[in-house]
Chain A
């Protein structure tokens, strides 16, 4: 997995021209999507694309943890849900001010980061399977706490009266909201690429590869891992805040372990440790779901079968197939 081609910034040889052009082409396509969808009378796809980008952001944050740092968390939905609840609670408790995106969204990130600091500080004492299970346990705790928050809808969840507000941009419009999501997703992806390419990312890769070696080289391994955990949690919180806005709804299900499982599936599907893995995985997973659902009520069987095929025939995910073509 640690070949030079799969890691952002780790390439020694230059990429082929079409590989360097691909991100720009994808971005151009995404920018052009709303007018295209409107022209074809398919406004539905604008909301769908927003969902893909948000889940992609969520999966990308998990990829930083799993792909770069080797910390397999099965409780990442805790931070996703935390972001959504912060947006929901602020909007309910403090109508007007609490709905300002510039206040609520950073607050969601900060709360998720604080939560990640707490959970990470304890969980990172364990390794491997035990780490998977302890993160799962923490996420389940939050899930059950959310279930009993009667003031915020209990197990049914709660609708938001309206989306957050940004000065000068009408977020109630699906198109404007989509562009805001696209900007944030692209920015986060850029940042995550820089992080992975920087010293910080290299140290994380080293820890993933051989923790004892990094420890004896004098790196504060625990502090590096905790920092990655907190950054990853903050971005998952942002994704949660955006998802609550996209659906105008939040519920405990956003913290359910299946949500964590789906995010992990997206990361593996897209490509572990690849900058584009999270986005590609989210896009493929959600598009598959959408396409198969058009054919059969039992689409989940098809998605499951395709995931099995990926495990056996494309162990490095879609991004791995992409890299092999060079």
Chain B
């Protein structure tokens, strides 16, 4: 294992982890504060990526397309909350699973109807297509560095929002005991819509940033949704801090698993076995992580409920 490869994989893991955090932060708040299992969270990520690709093509600039798409997705998210999901908060988890599963079906098919089955092109802006020397002799793509920068900034902003503002205090109160927060006179309805809008905006940001790296296509939301749920469960439902730690853990474990498990196995096990088991082990590493965390801490690493 060379130092270059190690540094590169560390950065990749952090970059992926930060994007997972953007998804998981919204998911964990909706989950913890509104007690809503929102399977359609991944659909907002997909919609954000599609809108970014379309608006970037229309305006000719990624830097213009991205914020427009983020705002548009936030509006869509808030409309969805006010029109539909709001009525599910008091229902059991099963109804929520059924309703949001239905939303996934609708969102995927509507996307296919509007944009077609082909994946959309979304390229790294020219300015950022080069690479930057992070260590002497170690180059790293500038765009991925930008993702790390943006992810860190958003995480910091969220930290301030949740721990230092009145709104954040209400959100924390809601996550720890919703009924009590309502009884103390919090306008839960407006707060919920706002939280949902922020969650949708973060989804769109993640979709827009990851769009050029992964493919912008129907179904992109479901794969990452499961990872975001893993993050939320590892971190503890309702805890933004937990989501941050969980996201980085999952990002790094996943990246390192894919990069090093197959090679390591090849060094110890017979080649036939290593080739068969390596990729599986790498793919399941994060799920193993989650099972282990739940085995020892059934409420996740940072339980939010008091």
Whether B299 lies near A130 (C-beta < 8 A) is yes
A window 269-326: CB within 8 A of B: 269, 272, 298-301, 303-305, 307-308, 310-312, 315
With A307-B99, A307-B102 known as contacts, the answer to whether A141 contacts B295 (CB < 8 A) is: no
Chain B contacts for A72, CB-based, 8 A = 93-94, 97
Q: How far is the CA of A315 from the CA of B99 in the complex (A)?
A: 11
Whether B93 lies near A132 (C-beta < 8 A) is yes
With A130-B294, A257-B226 known as contacts, the answer to whether A311 contacts B287 (CB < 8 A) is: no
A24 at the interface (CB under 8 A from B): no
Whether B113 lies near A125 (C-beta < 8 A) is no
With A134-B294, A261-B101, A305-B102 known as contacts, the answer to whether A144 contacts B109 (CB < 8 A) is: no
Whether B105 lies near A307 (C-beta < 8 A) is yes
Q: Interface residues of A: mostly helix, strand, loop or mixed?
A: helix
Interface residues of A toward B: which range? 35 or more
Whether A311 lies near B226 (C-beta < 8 A) is no
Picked from A66, A150, A303, A312, the residue with its CB within 8 Å of the CB of B87 is: A312
A104 at the interface (CB under 8 A from B): no
With A307-B99, A310-B98 known as contacts, the answer to whether A140 contacts B109 (CB < 8 A) is: no
Among B179-187, B198-206, B240-248, B275-283, the one that faces the other chain is B275-283
Among B49-57, B131-139, B163-171, B229-237, the one that faces the other chain is B229-237
Whether A145 lies near B280 (C-beta < 8 A) is yes
Whether A129 lies near B106 (C-beta < 8 A) is no
Chain B contacts for A261, CB-based, 8 A = 39, 97, 101
- Which of B93, B112, B226, B288 is packed against the most chain A CB atoms within 10 Å? B226
Which chain B residue has the least Cβ–Cβ distance from A267?
A: B94
B window 184-236: CB within 8 A of A: 222, 226, 229-230, 233
Whether B101 lies near A300 (C-beta < 8 A) is no
Whether B226 lies near A129 (C-beta < 8 A) is no
Min CB distance, A269 to chain B, in Å?
Answer: 8
Chain B contacts for A136, CB-based, 8 A = 226, 229
B5 at the interface (CB under 8 A from A): no
Min CB distance, B195 to chain A, in Å?
Answer: 18
B284 at the interface (CB under 8 A from A): yes
Contact digits for A137-151, partner B, Cβ 8 Å, 1 yes 0 no: 110110011011110
Whether B97 lies near A307 (C-beta < 8 A) is no
What are 27 sample pairs from A and B whose C-beta atoms fall under 8 A apart?
A: A122-B295, A126-B294, A127-B298, A129-B31, A130-B298, A130-B300, A132-B93, A133-B290, A134-B233, A134-B290, A136-B229, A137-B230, A137-B290, A137-B291, A140-B226, A140-B284, A144-B287, A147-B279, A148-B283, A261-B39, A261-B97, A264-B98, A268-B97, A298-B112, A307-B101, A311-B91, A315-B95
Whether B226 lies near A138 (C-beta < 8 A) is no
Given A72-B97, A144-B284, A304-B105, list of 6 further CB < 8 A pairs? Answer: A74-B97, A148-B277, A149-B276, A265-B98, A301-B106, A304-B104
Q: How far is the CA of A307 from the CA of B105 in the complex (A)?
A: 10
Q: How far is the CA of A66 from the CA of B98 in the complex (A)?
A: 14
A258 at the interface (CB under 8 A from B): yes
Q: How far is the CA of A12 from the CA of B91 in the complex (A)?
A: 29
Whether A122 lies near B291 (C-beta < 8 A) is yes
Picked from B84, B233, B276, the residue with its CB within 8 Å of the CB of A133 is: B233
Question: Residues on A close to B: CB < 8 A?
Answer: 66, 72, 74, 122, 125-130, 132-134, 136-138, 140-141, 144-145, 147-150, 257-258, 261, 264-265, 268-269, 272, 298-301, 303-305, 307-308, 310-312, 315
Whether B283 lies near A147 (C-beta < 8 A) is yes
Which chain A residue has the least Cβ–Cβ distance from B105?
A: A304
Q: How far is the CA of A148 from the CA of B104 in the complex (A)?
A: 27
Which chain A residue has the least Cβ–Cβ distance from B288?
A: A141
Contact digits for B99-117, partner A, Cβ 8 Å, 1 yes 0 no: 1011111101110110000
Which chain B residue has the least Cβ–Cβ distance from A257?
A: B226
Whether A268 lies near B226 (C-beta < 8 A) is no
Which chain B residue has the least Cβ–Cβ distance from A268?
A: B98
B37 at the interface (CB under 8 A from A): yes
Whether A311 lies near B279 (C-beta < 8 A) is no
Q: How far is the CA of A138 from the CA of B233 in the complex (A)?
A: 14
Chain B contacts for A305, CB-based, 8 A = 102, 106
Whether A126 lies near B298 (C-beta < 8 A) is yes
Min CB distance, A16 to chain B, in Å?
Answer: 29
Min CB distance, B263 to chain A, in Å?
Answer: 16
Whether A140 lies near B287 (C-beta < 8 A) is yes
